Amino acid sequence: MTKPKFCHSEKNIGNLIRVIDEVLQSYISNPQSIFQSYSEFIEYQFENVCRRNKVWYRKSKCMVPNCQAKAIQKSHTLPRSMSLRPIAEDGKVLTPQFNPITNSLELKEVGLAKASTFPGFCEVHERLFHEFEQNNFISNKHELYLQVYRSTCREIYRTKHVSAQFESVISKIKYLRDRRLLEKLRNILILYGMQNNFDINGLSVVEDSLFTMFEERFNNIKNHHIALSEILPTFENHLFHGQQVGTYVSAITIDIKIPVALSGSATIEINHKCYRRKLSIVMGLMPSGNRSLFFVAGRKDDHQEIENYFSYWKKNPFSMLALAETWMLNGTDQWYITPSVWRAIPEMRKKELLNIIMSYDQNIGDDLGISIFDEIRIKLLSEITCPAYVISKESSKMS
């Protein structure tokens, strides 16, 4: 830093402008410089996750229309006896959670009483799901719609909370930025002997590239919440009023038990030669017995795009396995895996898998290119006659 020459008091304003420009240019060239360390940057970025966990089980009203009863604190999104218990070990499953102490994403043990829960339904409306949960399988379209319905309710509850927390985080980071840029400006004025010439109480940045990423994610979450809120009434009309319009659900069961239970939602970006748009889907994966049920759901108007997406993955058992993996890392944080399956993955690959979740570089249309379920892949490769390129592709995911 070259010390400017302050020769005349009448030039103090001009010199101040140069110092401010110096501070701002330094910040613009490296926006993360306002954070004292990378750990602090991650801590702020994921503070919304930590705060969401604290307020997740606040008392809420039952989500069934016109019901005024209090929701029980822990409604299961995923069927406990049908899908969670069969993949648990010693009553525990693993799920991704952000660790505020290490500022990193980890897989943590959670008991079945807590896994996939949210304050969604009252005691009376919890019984809507009782039959297929007790039978340990979904046997008809009505039961499938019930499962899609509660998955959608949970996603609306989640996106509402995430939106609120994200807005709070953005506000806090802006406050931190303005405070630390002001501190830097004051320190430079002291260095140049100008601290007594100006009384500066605030400094703010109007257009800031640092917040482009945060605000884009925030807007995506808000728009996704709005889209899900538009989908939900179509399922309510279908289930509670018999109006079978406006909804689209597609499901497939495969004869492979994938040791993960998953429920979530995501957006699909449609790039057509005449237009470009995003649509929201709800998806789920539920093991039952020696089989696994996949479903995707959304608006009836989007059925062709949704089915095109789903059909792409339904080609063979390997692609269905890849679909489960991309939903886990690119689609939702609500998945629960058999502990021994995750622990069997080599440590370097685990880090790579967790980095994919943190990076936001992929989406649910991407094949991870990395294996989570080695044992299933090895078994499929030994049982199915595959072209050489398939063998090479699937084997490389485990290397």
Q: Residues 206-254: pLDDT tens digits? A: 777 777 777 888 889 999 999 999 999 999 999 999 887 889 999 999 9
- What is the four-CA torsion angle of 143, 148, 153, 156, rounded to 10 degrees? -170
pLDDT for 1 equals 41
Compute the mean pLDDT over every residue in the chain, rounded to the nearest whole number: 88
Query: Looking at residue 31, what is its pLDDT?
Result: 78
Distance between CA atoms of 72 and 274, rounded to whole angstroms?
47
> Do the Cβ atoms of 67 and 109 come closer than 8 Å?
no
**pLDDT value of position 130:** 94
Q: Residue 53 burial by CB count (10 A; 0-12/13-18/19+): exposed, middle or buried?
A: middle
Pairing of strands 104-111, 260-271: unpaired
Q: Name every residue whose Cβ is closer than 8 Å to that of residue 176 and which is 6 or more positions away in sequence.
A: 34, 35, 44
Contact assessment for residue 221 and residue 230, using Cβ atoms and an 8 Å cutoff? no
Q: What is the pLDDT along the chain (399 residues), one digit of tens a residue?
A: 444 444 445 556 777 777 778 787 788 778 778 888 777 777 776 665 656 666 788 888 999 999 999 999 999 999 999 999 999 999 999 999 988 777 788 999 999 999 999 999 999 999 999 999 989 999 999 999 999 999 999 999 999 988 888 787 888 888 888 888 888 888 887 777 776 666 677 777 777 777 777 788 888 999 999 999 999 999 999 999 988 788 999 999 999 999 999 999 999 888 877 778 889 999 999 999 999 999 999 999 999 999 999 999 999 999 999 999 999 999 998 999 999 999 999 999 999 999 999 887 889 999 999 999 999 999 999 999 889 999 999 999 999
Per-residue pLDDT at 302: 93
Name residue 287's beta-bridge partners. 292
What per-residue confidence (pLDDT) applies to 3?
45
Determine the Cα–Cα distance for residues 163 and 252; give it in Å rounded to an integer: 32
What's CA 51's distance to the chain center, in Å?
A: 15
